Amino acid sequence: MHIEKYQAYQPVNLPDRTWPSKIIDHAPTWCSVDLRDGNQALIDPMDSARKHRMFKTLVEMGFKEIEVGFPSASDTDFNFVREIIEGGLIPDDVTIQVLTQAREHLIERTIESLMGAKSVIVHLYNSTSELQRRVVFQQDREGVKQIAVEGAKMVKDRLARLEDAGTKVRLQYSPESFTGTELDYALEVCEAVMDVWQPTPENPVIINLPSTVEMSTPNIYADQIEWMHRHFTRRDAIILSVHPHNDRGTGVAATELAVMAGADRVEGTLFGNGERTGNVDIVTLGLNLFTQGVDPELDFSNINELMETAEYCNQLPIHPRHPYAGELVHTAFSGSHQDAINKGMQAIRKSNDPHWEVPYLPIDPQDIGRDYEAIIRVNSQSGKGGVAYLLETDYKIKLPKAAQADFSQVVQKITDATGKEINSETIWSTFQDEYIAQKDAPYELVSFSSKPIEGSNEREHITAIVDHIGKKHTIEADGNGPISAFVNGLRTEFGLNFRLKDYTEHTRSVGSRAEAAAYIELTVPDEKGRSVFGVGIDTSITMAPIRAVMSAVNRI
Ligand SMILES: CC(=O)SCCNC(=O)CCNC(=O)[C@H](O)C(C)(C)COP(=O)(O)OP(=O)(O)OC[C@H]1O[C@@H](n2cnc3c(N)ncnc32)[C@H](O)[C@@H]1OP(=O)(O)O
Ligand SMILES: CC(C)C(=O)C(=O)O
């Protein structure tokens, strides 16, 4: 690997930086660039139908600023801007934004696309980095500054046309490839553009400082933003915006630190679609705020719908491990995580505390329109807690702890053998085979009745018919209750040696049926002194434990 081809990014000399101790306590102004930067990175750019769906979704989510395209790039882009203006599809509180290079015919076409709009942002850019000055523009600092200044003048000259037609216009300038630009030079170019546009605190300009290519650790980007924030001569006439990309995989972190460093506004896309590794992901940024108790001012309550829109419009899949949204991000397969989630969910159900505190789940899936169905899935990495959680959630079976371990071993044998996930339905049918249906089991309960023994204190007499390998046995026995009487009768009739160790029972409402589920633990005094579990389900609370005893005896 030719490491000598690369050089370290130079840090900013800002020893009195203030951003590390800042806290983000409100959402920045969001601007979606899905329809422009996101769109220009697609294999097949969005057609009109895809653009309309994206725009509608962005509006419904609550975006107030939406970059709707690069109208001079193509008829598709131009026509879409016309369609949303002429079709009255832009709500009064939403401002559309369009991008243009600093070239006259492109600016002309851009302005033409906007005629009749209520409120627009005209976004002018040119690249200012040392590399692009040298290889793309082949101009010195002054030459590239003049591209910006001339572009700014061209835009300004045409503004009257828009304003006379009743359009409210805000101007935006981006020194593209800012992260490859010397800070003093970026400042000089931005100030030169502002000299042309003459912004005021009442009518501020948007200065957008993009990490067109993310080149450094996020702290350096934050230093750059704070440096600019502190050096602008007319900071009060600027809305300071950032437009981060994700080349190093730290776009979200860089954006958060940039906001701490003074940025008022963030441009990004849904799920981070965009050039190369993407624009910064506004869904992650917004939900990061949400999970800190800060209102993101965007609606993420139906994340599945947002994903469907993004996947349809971009024709790109969203990764199953994408923060907050991915299909697998609320799911635990591993045993210790499942155990902790199971306990956390139980604690939440019992508690009156409104705060969400479930281990391994930073967000309540229901807050973004997901249900709890997927939070636990079982494979060979899972433990008893996961299996117990699924049985309880999906089938209202609350296995006692010792029985959880017993059944988990049954499931583990299957997952080890298949090497695959086992779903809830298969767990349930395995549970029924093991404890309830017990095909080919030696003992089968044919009938059972019990009655109190007169004059005795709570003692019961039972009569049961049990089929043992095709032969019916009638059992008559007494005990301190029906369970103990049945246990006594079985031991005597079949010469079995076991003791009743534990018994629990609960009601189980599945749909309209009210049933009881009973769990029996027997001890068998063989060389291991092992425990054997049985489960019984019945509409009668007397019969459920009797069936559970039969189930356990069959498993001896
Ligand atoms: C980082 C970003 O995302 S910036 C946005 C990038 N987005 C896009 O490019 C998508 C839309 N773009 C397009 O459809 C086309 O590029 C168009 C229509 C804008 C222009 O097309 P063309 O003029 O045919 O070609 P192209 O973009 O290659 O133009 C390059 C020329 O413009 C110059 N140029 C590039 N950017 C700018 C700019 N912002 N301002 C002024 N001149 C510029 C280049 O130096 C080059 O000049 P040269 O021909 O003298 O060498
Ligand atoms: C035009 C600018 C803001 C841009 O898209 C970028 O630098 O990535």
Q: Which of 260, 282, 314 is the last residue of a domain?
A: 314
Instruction: Let me know whether 116 and 260 are in one domain.
Output: yes
Closest CA to 497 of 542, 556, 446: 556
Q: Residue 484: is its pLDDT beyond 90? A: yes
Instruction: Place 457 in a pLDDT band, splitting at 50, 70 and 90.
Output: confident
Q: Whose CA is nearest to atom 14 of ligand 1?
A: 73
> Is 37 annotated among the ligand-binding residues?
yes
Q: Maximum Cα–Cα distance for the chain, whole Å?
A: 111
Q: Residues of the chain with pLDDT > 90: what percent?
A: 96
Confidence at residue 130, expressed as pLDDT on a 0 to 100 scale: 98
> Is 245 annotated among the ligand-binding residues?
yes
**Spacing, Cα 101 to ligand 1 middle (Å):** 6
Q: What is the CATH number of the domain that holds 504?
A: 3.30.160.270
Asked, for residue 222, whether it belongs to a domain, the answer is yes
Instruction: Ligand 2, residue 275: give the atom nearest the CA.
Output: 8
Of the listed ligands, the closest to the CA of 146 is: 1
Q: Whose CA is nearest to atom 50 of ligand 1?
A: 137
Of the listed ligands, the closest to the CA of 172 is: 2
Is residue 126 lining ligand 1, measured as CB closer than 6 Å?
A: yes
Of the listed ligands, the closest to the CA of 279 is: 2
Asked, for residue 324, whether it belongs to a domain, the answer is no
SS3 76: helix
Q: Residue 512: is its pLDDT beyond 70? A: no
Instruction: Let me know whether 405 and 452 are in one domain.
Output: no
Number of residues assigned to the chain: 556
Confidence at residue 509, expressed as pLDDT on a 0 to 100 scale: 76
The C-alpha atoms of residue 471 and residue 281 are separated, in whole angstroms, by: 70
Q: Residue 374: is its pLDDT beyond 90? A: no
Instruction: Let me know whether 115 and 255 are in one domain.
Output: yes
Q: What is the CATH number of the domain that holds 91?
A: 3.20.20.70
**Spacing, Cα 82 to ligand 2 middle (Å):** 23
84-119 per-position pLDDT tens digit: 999 999 999 999 999 999 999 999 999 999 999 999
| 108 strand-pairing partners | none
Asked, for residue 429, whether it belongs to a domain, the answer is no
Instruction: Let me know whether 400 and 283 are in one domain.
Output: no
Range of the domain at 528: 443-555
Using alpha carbons, list the distances in angstroms from residue 133 to 142, 185, 202, 208, 526. Answer: 10, 12, 34, 19, 86
> Is 2 annotated among the ligand-binding residues?
no
Q: Which of 283, 314, 345 is the last residue of a domain?
A: 314
Q: Whose CA is nearest to atom 7 of ligand 2?
A: 212
Instruction: Place 514 in a pLDDT band, splitting at 50, 70 and 90.
Output: confident
Is residue 107 lining ligand 1, measured as CB closer than 6 Å?
A: no
Instruction: Let me know whether 405 and 544 are in one domain.
Output: no
Instruction: Let me know whether 417 and 531 are in one domain.
Output: no
Instruction: Let me know whether 480 and 545 are in one domain.
Output: yes
Instruction: Let me know whether 405 and 470 are in one domain.
Output: no
Instruction: Let me know whether 307 and 345 are in one domain.
Output: no
CA dihedral 331, 336, 342, 346 (to 10 degrees): -140
Asked, for residue 417, whether it belongs to a domain, the answer is yes
Instruction: Place 448 in a pLDDT band, splitting at 50, 70 and 90.
Output: very high
**Spacing, Cα 205 to ligand 2 middle (Å):** 17
44-69 mean pLDDT: 98
Residue labelled with tokens 């003093």: 184
Instruction: Let me know whether 306 and 346 are in one domain.
Output: no
**Spacing, Cα 6 to ligand 2 middle (Å):** 24
Q: Residues of the chain with pLDDT > 70: what percent?
A: 99
**Spacing, Cα 358 to ligand 2 middle (Å):** 39
Q: Whose CA is nearest to atom 43 of ligand 1?
A: 101
DSSP annotation string for 122-145: EEEEEE--HHHIIIII---HHHHH
Confidence at residue 14, expressed as pLDDT on a 0 to 100 scale: 98
**Spacing, Cα 262 to ligand 2 middle (Å):** 19
Asked, for residue 328, whether it belongs to a domain, the answer is no
197-239 per-position pLDDT tens digit: 999 999 999 999 999 999 999 999 999 999 999 999 999 999 9
Is residue 270 lining ligand 1, measured as CB closer than 6 Å?
A: no
Q: Residue 282: is its pLDDT beyond 90? A: yes
Q: Whose CA is nearest to atom 5 of ligand 2?
A: 37
**Spacing, Cα 182 to ligand 2 middle (Å):** 17
Instruction: Let me know whether 473 and 406 are in one domain.
Output: no
Give the lowest-confidence range in 5-14, 149-158, 171-180, 527-536: 527-536
Is residue 73 lining ligand 1, measured as CB closer than 6 Å?
A: yes
Q: How many domains does the chain have?
A: 3
Asked, for residue 321, whether it belongs to a domain, the answer is no
323-341 per-position pLDDT tens digit: 999 999 999 999 999 999 9
**Spacing, Cα 76 to ligand 2 middle (Å):** 20
Assign residue 222 a region (left: φ > 0; alpha: ψ between -120 and 50; beta: otherwise). alpha
258-263 mean pLDDT: 98
Asked, for residue 362, whether it belongs to a domain, the answer is yes
Q: Whose CA is nearest to atom 17 of ligand 1?
A: 73
Instruction: Let me know whether 286 and 355 are in one domain.
Output: no
The C-alpha atoms of residue 6 and residue 435 are separated, in whole angstroms, by: 65
Of the listed ligands, the closest to the CA of 176 is: 2
Instruction: Place 458 in a pLDDT band, splitting at 50, 70 and 90.
Output: confident
Asked, for residue 458, whether it belongs to a domain, the answer is yes
Give residues (CB < 6 A) around ligand 2.
Answer: 37, 99, 125, 174, 176, 208, 210, 212, 243, 245
**Spacing, Cα 128 to ligand 2 middle (Å):** 11
Instruction: Place 305 in a pLDDT band, splitting at 50, 70 and 90.
Output: very high
Kind of pairing between the strands at 443-452 and 460-468: antiparallel
Confidence at residue 264, expressed as pLDDT on a 0 to 100 scale: 98
Instruction: Ligand 2, residue 243: give the atom nearest the CA.
Output: 3
Instruction: Place 456 in a pLDDT band, splitting at 50, 70 and 90.
Output: confident
Instruction: Ligand 1, residue 101: give the atom nearest the CA.
Output: 39
